Amino acid sequence: MIVDQELENKEIAKQYKELLRISYQTLSEKDKKMIRLAFDTAVEAHSEQRRKSGEAYIFHPINVAKIVAHQIGLDATSICAALLHDVVEDTQFTLEDIERLMGNTVAKIVHGLTKISSLKKDKNISLQAENFRKMLLTLNDDVRVIIIKIADRLHNMQTMDSMPEYKQVKIASETLYIYAPLAHRIGLYNVKTELEDLSLKYTEPQRYLSIKSKIEESYDEQENYIKTFSKFLSEELDKERVNYTIKGRSKSIYSIHRKMLIQNIAFENIFDKFAMRIVFKSTRPKEKLLAWKIYSIVTDHFTPNPTRLRDWISAPKSNGYEALHITVMGPQNKWVEVQIRSERMHEIAEKGYAAHYKYKQGDQKDIGIESWLNRLQEVLENNSGNAVDFVEDFKLNLYAKEIFVFTPKGDLKSLPQGATALDFAFAIHTDIGKKTRGIRVNGRLVPLSKELKSGDQIDVITSESIKPSKNWLDFVITSRARSIIKSSLNEEKKARAEEGKEILRRKLKQLKITLNDKTIQQMLLYFKFDSSQDLYYRMGIGTLDNKQLKNFASVYQNSVINFFKRRISSKKNTSPNLSSEITEKFDQLVFGKEKEPLAHSFANCCSPIPGDAVFGFITVNEGVKVHHKECPNALTLQSNFAYRVIPAKWIDSSSEQYTVVLKLSGIDRKGLVNEVTRMISNTKNVNINKINFDSEDQYFTGMIQVSVQNKTILSKLVTTLSKVNGIDKIVRE
C-alpha cells in the first residue's frame, strides 16, 4: 500500500487541533502541554503500526481521545490516558515510561486499560462473563478506566467494516452483552444508543438497514409534525418569557427493533417513533419551578396520559438523570412523549459522569456514579459464584427501570423496578438484610417477596436469630441481595460441614472405623459424592443415616480391598461411567425460576453432559435446546435472543429444598396452632412457607406448606406432629 506521508502527517496534525477545540472541559495551558506530550508520545510509539483498514494506527487513539473529550466530556488527564491507552500493550513503551513522562494518575488509568485488554488473551477463562467481572474490578483503580474503555469500544464499532464477518458478529454481540448496558448505567445515553445501533448493524444487518431506510423515508413527515407541535407551544412559552428550544428526537434504530420484537408488530404500527424535547435556560434554584410551569403549559394545550408522568427532577435516577417526562395526545391524535429539561439537566443526560462534576457544588453528594460504585464494589466483594450467573444477575440491574421508595424516616431510596421487600432490606445494609424477620410496607406486614411500588414506605423488622435461607433467592432480584445471600449460604454450608465432620468421626468410631484420608476416599466412591465437604455437609443435615453408614461399614470390613479395586479400575477404564455417576447424583434438569422439568434436547454445538453449567434456549421448531454456558454460541444467543433464554440447572435431590403440603385434621383445642408452629420451628432443616387452620364445632382442618431437604427429615416432622394432643390425621398431598 502506497502512503502519502506528508498528507497523512497533515491529517494527524489537523485531528490533534480538533481534539483541543472540541473538548467539553475548559483546558488550561498546563492541560494543553500535558495533552501535547501524550500526543507526541503516542505518535512516536505507534509510528510503525497500521490498522486493518490500512490507515495509521495513531488515528485510533486520537479518535478515542476525541470521544472522551467531546462526547463524554472528561478532563485532560483522561484525554492523555485515551491517547496512550494502547501504548503499553502494543509497543516497546513500559508503564514506568508512562509514569515518568505523564505522572502517576495517567499511568494508573493506562495500567487499568492494559489489564482489561490482556483479559481477552487468556483462553482458559469463561469468555465474556469472567472478563466482565474482572473488568469491573478495575473500577478499584479509577472509574475513568471503564469510561475510556467504553470510548475505545465505540470507536472500534465505528470502524469495523474492514474486519471479517465472524469477528464483526463476535465484537457486536459482546458490545450488546456488556458495554451498552454499562454505558447506560453510567448515564452515557448517547454512547449507549450508538453502541446498540452499531451492534444491530453487524448482528442483524438486514433488519438494521430496513429500519434505517424507513426512518429516513419518514424524516420530512416527522419534521412537519415537530413544526406543528412547536407552533402550538411557542406562543404560550414566549408569553411567559421562557428561554427555550424545542427539538424532536427520533427513537434509535435498536429501540425500534426491540419494540417490534417484544410487541410483535411492524414498523408502521409503532406510534412513538420520536420524542419532543424542551430544553430551557434557568438558574439552579428556579429549575424545578420552571419545569413544572412548562409542564402546565404543555398539558393546557394537549391532554396528558396520567399513567405516563415521570418526575425525575424531584427524585433523580441513580445515575443522576433529571427530567420531567410526559406523554400527551398531540396533533393528528398521536401520542407524543415530551421531555422537559434545563440546560444543566440536558448536559448531565448527554455527558453523564463528566457533567456531574462540572455542576457539583461544595460538599454536595454525587447522586450518580459514586453511590453506584460503592454498591457495585460490595456486590463484587460478596460474589464468589459462577461468572455467567453473576453477569446475568448484574445485567438485570444495569438496564432495569427504577422505583423510588421511602425509609421509615422519610429518606428516599431507588431500587430497580420489580424489586421486593427483601431487596430493600439488603439495599439498606448487609446486616439488616441478613437478619430480616419481617417487613412492613405502608404500616402493614407483607411477605418478604412483596413487589414494591414507587411511594411505598418500608420498615424492616430484624432478629438476631434469623439467617438467610435458600428460598430467599426466589424473593430477590437485585445482584447485591443475591450475592450476599449466596455468600451467607456458603458460610452456612461450611459451618454445617464442620458439624457433620465431627458427627461422622463419632459415628465411625462406634463402628470401629477411623476417619482418615483413606476412609474419606472410600466413602466418596461408595456414596458417589464429589468432595469431602459434600460428605460432611450431608452428614450435618441428616441425609446420611445410621443404616447407610452400617452398610458402608459392612462393605468396608468384609471385602474392602476387592470392592474398591473394582470401583477404582472401572472408574479408570470406562469413561462413560463418569457420566452415569454424575447422572445418578444430578438426576434431573429443571428450568426457570420455578425450577420446572420441561421436555428438552441437547444442542450438538456444545454437547453438554449432566453436571455441566447449562442454560435452556427456546427454539422456533425444536422446543427447548440445552446449551453449555461456555458454548461458542452462548454469547450470540444471550445477546440477541435474551427473551428466549431460560435458566437451567441439574439438581441434586439430596441437597435441594422440596416443597411439601401436609393436611391435618382432628379435635380443636386452645393453643393447638401455636404448639404445631413451635414444633415445626424447632425441627432442624424445616422452613414453614404457608400455614392455614379452620375450625368448626370443635373439629379443625389445617394446611401446612413446608420446605424440607429430603424424605428422612419429612418423616421425622410427621412423627413429631402426630404426637401433638388433638391431631388425629396427617396426610401428605
Burial of residue 436, with CB atoms counted within 10 A of its CB: 0-12 exposed, 13-18 middle, 19 or more buried: buried
C-alpha cell recorded at residue 394: 448484574
Q: Say how many C-beta atoms besides its own lie within 10 A of residue 269's C-beta.
A: 10
Q: How far apart are CA 421 and CA 427, in angstroms?
A: 10
Active site residue 90: yes
C-alpha cell recorded at residue 317: 435516577
Contacts of 723 (CB under 8 A, 6+ apart): none
DSSP 644: G
| CA angle, 130 then 170 then 649, to 5° | 45
Q: How far apart are CA 682 and CA 684, in angstroms?
A: 6
Q: How far apart are CA 163 and CA 161, in angstroms?
A: 6
| CA 199 to the chain's CA centroid | 20
Burial of residue 609, with CB atoms counted within 10 A of its CB: 0-12 exposed, 13-18 middle, 19 or more buried: middle
CB 624 within 8 A of CB 646: yes
Burial of residue 398, with CB atoms counted within 10 A of its CB: 0-12 exposed, 13-18 middle, 19 or more buried: middle
Q: Which amino acid is at 360?
A: K
Q: Say how many C-beta atoms besides its own lie within 10 A of residue 514's C-beta.
A: 9
Contacts of 250 (CB under 8 A, 6+ apart): 215, 222, 273, 274
Q: Name the active-site residue from 8, 11, 90, 141.
A: 90
C-alpha cell recorded at residue 226: 415537530
Q: Say how many C-beta atoms besides its own lie within 10 A of residue 156's C-beta.
A: 18
Return the SS3 of 39: helix
CB 106 within 8 A of CB 80: yes
User: How far is residue 329 from each of residues 304, 365, 567, 645, measured CA to CA in Å?
Assistant: 6, 38, 76, 37
| CA angle, 144 then 148 then 149, to 5° | 115
Q: Name the active-site residue from 89, 204, 451, 581.
A: 89
DSSP 621: S
SS (H, E, C) 79-138: HHHHHCCCHHHHCCCCHHHHHHHHCHHHHHHHHHHHHHHHHCCCCCCCCCHHHHHHHHHH
Active site residue 6: no
* Nearest residue to 624 via CA among 590, 655, 658: 590
C-alpha cell recorded at residue 61: 487513539
Give counts: helices (H), strands (E), the chain.
30, 19
Q: Which amino acid is at 54?
A: G
Contacts of 611 (CB under 8 A, 6+ apart): 582, 585, 586, 650
| CA 729 to the chain's CA centroid | 48
User: How far is residue 304 from each of residues 273, 292, 300, 311, 313, measured CA to CA in Å?
Assistant: 18, 14, 9, 14, 18
* Nearest residue to 273 via CA among 334, 353, 205, 187: 334
For the chain, the distance separating the N- and C-terminal CA atoms, rounded to the nearest angstrom, is: 79
Strand ranges across the sheet with 686-696: 686-696, 699-708, 658-667, 727-732
Burial of residue 510, with CB atoms counted within 10 A of its CB: 0-12 exposed, 13-18 middle, 19 or more buried: exposed
Question: What residues are labeled active site?
Answer: 89-90
